[in-house]
Structure formats: structure tokens, C-alpha cells
């Protein structure tokens, strides 16, 4: 993938970390987004935020009010879907929890 041919706006909007194209060359995509669009909203998989860079990732990780791990399902059957495709009814780890549960799990570490 040639970074000069990338449409960064479309790349951010359509970013899909589960795609074959991303699996073949994640470095070019990540480098391009990090340098031109370090915080991007993708509409893939119902929408999610792409955040790059240590300082920004740390800021987002500490701001659960704005960047919640909660993912409400449209049918209201459960407040949780997670990052797995297809959705999975159990959490995959710390990245998928908000306080107070995240605080309780992280405190011992």
C-alpha cells in the first residue's frame, strides 16, 4: 500500500482492523493515520474511535466518561458486546471495562 495514494479521510472513516487489507499491511495504515489523523472515528462495525500515540492513548484510557468501553446492543438484550467479531457476551480484559469494575480489577496490579 503506497501512503501517497491513501485517501486519509476515507481511511479513517472506513478503518477496519479486521480487514484483509489491514492484516496485509497494518504498518502503512497505522503510520498514515498516526501522522495525519491521530484521533479518527471509523464507521466500521457500528463505529469506534482510532487513537494513536502514547499520550493520546493514555488520555483516552483515563477518560471513561467520553470514551466508554460500554457498547449497548440495539435490541437492549445486554449492555455489552465487546471488541470481538461477532460480538461476545463476556469481557476480553481491562480494555473492555469502565470504572468501578476497571478500578477494582486494576488496583491489585
**Predicted confidence (pLDDT) per residue in 74-102, tens digit:** 555 555 555 665 666 666 666 677 777 77
- pLDDT above 70 (res 11): no
Average model confidence (pLDDT) for the chain?
Answer: 74
Compute CA distances 39 → 20, 84, 99, whole Å: 22, 21, 23
How many angstroms separate the CA atoms of 101 and 96, rounded?
10
Q: What is the pLDDT of residues 38-80, one digit of tens each?
A: 888 888 877 788 888 889 888 887 887 777 766 655 555 555 5
pTM over 0.75: no
pLDDT at 3: 42
Distance CA 22, CA 60 (A): 23
Amino acid at each position: 500500500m503506497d501512503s501517497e495514494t491513501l485517501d486519509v479521510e476515507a481511511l479513517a472513516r472506513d478503518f477496519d482492523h479486521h480487514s484483509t487489507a489491514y492484516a496485509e499491511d497494518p504498518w502503512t495504515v497505522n503510520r498514515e493515520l498516526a501522522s495525519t489523523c491521530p484521533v479518527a472515528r471509523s464507521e466500521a462495525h457500528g463505529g469506534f474511535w482510532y487513537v494513536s500515540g502514547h499520550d493520546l492513548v493514555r488520555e483516552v484510557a483515563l477518560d471513561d466518561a467520553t470514551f466508554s468501553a460500554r457498547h449497548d446492543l440495539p435490541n437492549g438484550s445486554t449492555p455489552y458486546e465487546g471488541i470481538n467479531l461477532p460480538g461476545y457476551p463476556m469481557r476480553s480484559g481491562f480494555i473492555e471495562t469502565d470504572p468501578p469494575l476497571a478500578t477494582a480489577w486494576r488496583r491489585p496490579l
